[in-house]
Structure 1
Amino acid sequence: MVKIYDTTLRDGSQREGISYSTEDKLNITKKLDELGIDYIEGGWPGSNPKDIEYFNKVQELKLENAKISAFGSTRRANIKAEEDKNLNAILASGVKVATIFGKTWDLHVTQALKTTLEENLNMIESSVAYLKSKGLEVNFDAEHFFDGYEVNPEYAIKVLLAAQKGGADTLVLCDTNGGTMPFKIKKIIAKVKEEISVPLGVHAHNDAELAVANSLIAYEAGAVQIQGTINGYGERCGNANLSSIMPNLKLKYNEEFITDEQLAKITEVSRYVSEVANLNPPSHKPYVGDSAFAHKGGIHVSAILRDSKTYEHIRPELVGNKQRVLVSELSGKSNLVYKAQELGINIEEESTDLRAVLDKIKDLEHQGYHFEGAEASFELLVEKATGRYTKLFELEGVRIITEKSEDKSPLSEATIKVKVNGERVHTAAEGDGPVNALDGALRKALISFYPELKDIHLIDYKVRVLEGNEGTSAKVRVLIESTDGHQTWGTVGASTNIIEASWQALVDSIEYGIKLKKVD
């Protein structure tokens, strides 16, 4: 049975912009264990204090499925293995599994290590043997294996034989530069199996967008350990993406290496890791992305309403994801029927209400609105078009003044007049910018009527210029994301005036939030 080896915490952390704390790494470890991962590579204990701290603390976790592995290199040239600091750091980490890498490509031996080909073989064999003598399970990562094999296949095989002689449990063939084609992976592994008796693994990088394909080809060729990272995070273009590999193994190859319940957690784990890494969740990734089962074209939506198999290769629930239908100028009636049903609004496909909503959406999208990321604005639009909308207040007027002096930051003041339930409110607020001041003034005017507002906050504000060639008179789109601490929602506005566009999105945000709180 295939084993999954996760290196999110080590190789994945080499992605530009990622820096996990020790606590982050421990929390991710728990999530990976729940997913059914067999091996979790925690880091390189000889390289930095953070990894040493991780290995000390991870021993306190009660893991159900995973073995923790420490990463390192073979001993340095011309010393004994027992004298090597990195190897001894692995032993001191308290792990039961070690993964050490060695040079397979003769170019790296002579140019990077500055040693002889024979000494490199000795380094590999003695390092593996030393760790085995201490009772550890040892994976040997044959770095640059496929590139090395292409240049000097005889020496690449000698490297594997040295690790095998040292007692390695698994020989992992690494496509370190990420440029090997799948047909070469298959051909080379077939040759390796003629010479090697130890189980094989694969460690692929994604520089040619083939890491997942190469990992699966290696599995077909007989590899029993697949290494990779959640979301494919890693240096340069990343590593093999376990968020795709694991569903493919389970659902396409019928490999029973994890349970159905574990597979259903993979979307959650993918998004959790991205949040901890402070990266946007990978919305367009297969299986786990928010868009993986999102449908926009009207013909597609009409079909999936009858049978989801028409445009979905699996049921999204199998991987913990869900089907989504988007609303845009490309929408047909089926899109709106689907979305209305989601909102609890019953609209018949041939009703005048539906045609009114569809025409309004197409008109607004032509003006610059964009409802894919603003479903709260869409819901309010449906309510207005179908006569279900209740207006919370009326705007009588707003004035915004921004003051800027030479040595001070700009300060904006918004004065607003609104009428709520027949009562006029006139108030003002200051802010760092005009939108901030406008938000403050509107909240100040409404809070006594709608105390729910105290829980509603803006968490993101985006402005996009739609017609750059129009200069300062260009139309802009404003997208606002808001939360009440439990749910989040998006709203949109569009205008040639950024304040007007912001007002539209802001009002929708507040009205939708108040409506949500009243339902709760």
Structure 2
Amino acid sequence: MYDTTLRDGTQGEGVSLSAEDKVKIALRLDEMGFQYIEGGWPGSNPKDMEFFQKIQQYSLRNAQVTAFGSTCRPGVEPHEDANINCLLEAGAKIATIFGKCWDFHVTKALNTTLEENLRMVRESVAYLKSKGLMVFFDGEHFFDGYKANADYALSVLKAAVQGGAATVILCDTNGGSMPQEIQRAVTHVVEELPGVELGIHAHNDGEMAVANSIMAVQAGVSQVQGTVNGLGERCGNANLCSIIPNLALKMGYSTIPAENLVYLTELSRYVYELANLNPIANQPFVGESAFAHKGGIHVSALMKEPGTYEHMNPEAVGNVRRVLMSELAGISNLLYKYKELHLDKSSPEGRQVLEKLKNMEHGGYQFEAAEGSLELMLRKAMNGYREPFQLESMRLILEMREENPIHSEAVIKLKVGDQVVHTAAEGNGPVHALDNALRKALETFYPEVAGMRLSDYKVRVLEEKAGTEARVRVLIETGDGKKTWGTVGVSTNIIEASWQALADSMAYGLLKK
């Protein structure tokens, strides 16, 4: 497994990693048991050179760091080429250099002859090897070159082998090849280069990068290059978070140590976090929705046998099964999600809540991201739940003057047990003021409220054509430093919808405390 998240992954739009971020990811990849980590292109920017300097301070247990670069330029000897010398300065023991395999690129992009390109590949590999480095050769545009001029594309690979390349990687640089094309080409290369270790580097422009990588393995390659979460230029690179479990769990190949597969989901989310990207929920294997079930018939079958609607055990890659509640839910969804409430299929409370849920979702509620509100509704239906507080009255004061910022103040009266508390608070908006007033009223009775923090607030207009009379849905996410929960409110009045979600968020947090 050859990871190029730190180099090719950072070429993706919106992806930016500091040198320190790259070190953190490299250390995590090493812990996971990846064999190779491509750290960057030291000849292209100071950040990548800084990474190579920083990573030398650590002793990696499993991985070897590789430095990426190109062959020498046309008409230039390797020892005189600045890019080649930067590879030596990086201090890595392995250099991965790319060269052109497509005659079209050689004559048009490099503006040189086919023979000169072969010289550049052969001598660049040989020079780096003479300096004590192991050299991997990336055959850029190999598959496009193979389709256009197979003999020349193969001659480039042979030049790299003549120079002493330890591994020759076949690159689908434009990402447009199909699996059967990959299979035919790799099979031919295996015949032409017996005994040479081969690799695959696929891009995802045709949504085939994972399939093409797996097909290449079946045809004879032993090194797979890709990125965590498929990050990369244009449509991304081959996604190692899909390739690894497919190869290891479904096909019996050795990839990373088997005991580390359970950390794959954690690795995926760690990289998303450092790259400041939102995780893709429906990403196979590691996405939050990868093992999420919504339909009632599906959940009913899952309760009998998970294999009815899951292709594998989610825990094998560190993920979890999730059951969602919506208008598509059946009683089985409730039974699965709330086992501790001891519901059964004949439970009238469960049936009542399910019917109410379907009607509420029809009216604009959405409980997939508001499980806190759903559980409170279920507990209230079972007559065993005591509300921690009740609203008696609420008043909001908004004052806006021409020369002053808007002033928001909330005044609320709550009943807590047999006591009534009346308080007021300000905020930078009406919902913020309401949140502050609610906390102020509750903290005397429930000190744990101080540890709860609203972490997200979303408003969606449900009937756009109704204009300012439209119903709105408010989703609130709250956390206490250990877990988060969602709650929902719907109304034609945004303040009322916000209060519903806000009150549920506090009540649910207190329930779990």
Same fold, TM exceeding 0.5? yes
The amino acid that maps onto 1:460 is: D
Which residue of structure 2 aligns with residue 136 of structure 1?
A: 133
The amino acid that maps onto 1:209 is: E
The amino acid that maps onto 2:169 is: V
Which residue, 66, 72, 78 being the options, matches 1:69?
66
Which residue, 188, 205, 212 being the options, matches 2:185?
188
Which residue, 95, 115, 126 being the options, matches 2:92?
95
How far apart are the structure 1 equivalents of 2:345 and 2:58? 55
Give matches, 1:118-517, under 5 Å: 118-197=115-194, 198-341=196-339, 344-406=340-402, 408-517=404-513
Number of residue-to-residue matches in the alignment: 512
The amino acid that maps onto 1:212 is: V
Which residue of structure 2 aligns with residue 43 of structure 1?
A: 40
Partner SS state of residue 338, structure 2: helix
Whether contact under 8 Å (1:260, 1:318) holds in the other structure is no
Whether contact under 8 Å (1:459, 1:483) holds in the other structure is yes
User: What displacement does 1:406 show?
Assistant: 4.2
Partner SS state of residue 341, structure 2: coil
How far apart are the structure 1 equivalents of 2:224 and 2:419? 67
Structure 1 range deviating more: 425-434 or 83-92: 425-434
How far apart are the structure 2 equivalents of 1:501 and 1:335? 26
Residue-by-residue CA offset, 1:402-424 (whole Å, 9 max, x unaligned): 33344554332222222223332
Partner SS state of residue 421, structure 2: strand
Partner SS state of residue 190, structure 2: helix
User: What displacement does 1:292 show?
Assistant: 1.0
Which residue, 26, 34, 39 being the options, matches 2:31?
34
Which residue, 49, 57, 60 being the options, matches 2:57?
60
Residue-by-residue CA offset, 1:199-239 (whole Å, 9 max, x unaligned): 21110011111000000011111111110001101111110
How far apart are the structure 2 equivalents of 1:105 and 1:162? 14
Partner SS state of residue 23, structure 2: helix
User: What displacement does 1:138 show?
Assistant: 1.0
Residue-by-residue CA offset, 1:389-444 (whole Å, 9 max, x unaligned): 21111212212233334455433222222222333222222222211111111111
Partner SS state of residue 414, structure 1: strand
Residue-by-residue CA offset, 1:39-98 (whole Å, 9 max, x unaligned): 011111111121111111112222221111111111112111011111111111111111
The amino acid that maps onto 2:182 is: I
Which residue of structure 1 aligns with residue 82 of structure 2?
A: 85
User: What displacement does 1:324 show?
Assistant: 1.2
User: What displacement does 1:36 show?
Assistant: 1.6
Partner SS state of residue 426, structure 2: strand
**Aligned CA-pair RMSD:** 1.4
Whether contact under 8 Å (1:6, 1:230) holds in the other structure is yes
The amino acid that maps onto 1:319 is: V
The amino acid that maps onto 1:469 is: K
Instruction: Rate the CA distance shift 1:405–1:126 in 2: closer, same or farther, 3 A.
Output: farther
The amino acid that maps onto 2:512 is: L
Q: TM-score, normalised by structure 2?
A: 0.97
The amino acid that maps onto 1:160 is: L
Structure 1, unpaired ranges of 5+ = none
How far apart are the structure 2 equivalents of 1:21 and 1:57? 12
Q: TM-score, normalised by structure 1?
A: 0.96
Instruction: Rate the CA distance shift 1:493–1:118 in 2: closer, same or farther, 3 A.
Output: same
The amino acid that maps onto 2:78 is: A
How far apart are the structure 2 equivalents of 1:388 and 1:134? 76
Instruction: Rate the CA distance shift 1:117–1:410 in 2: closer, same or farther, 3 A.
Output: farther
How far apart are the structure 1 equivalents of 2:139 and 2:494? 57
Identity %: 61
How far apart are the structure 1 equivalents of 2:254 and 2:114? 41
Structure 2, unpaired ranges of 5+ = none
Structure 1 range deviating more: 374-383 or 420-429: 420-429
Partner SS state of residue 379, structure 2: helix
Partner SS state of residue 45, structure 1: coil
How far apart are the structure 2 equivalents of 1:334 and 1:260? 34
User: What displacement does 1:38 show?
Assistant: 0.8
Whether 1:11 aligns to 2:14 is no
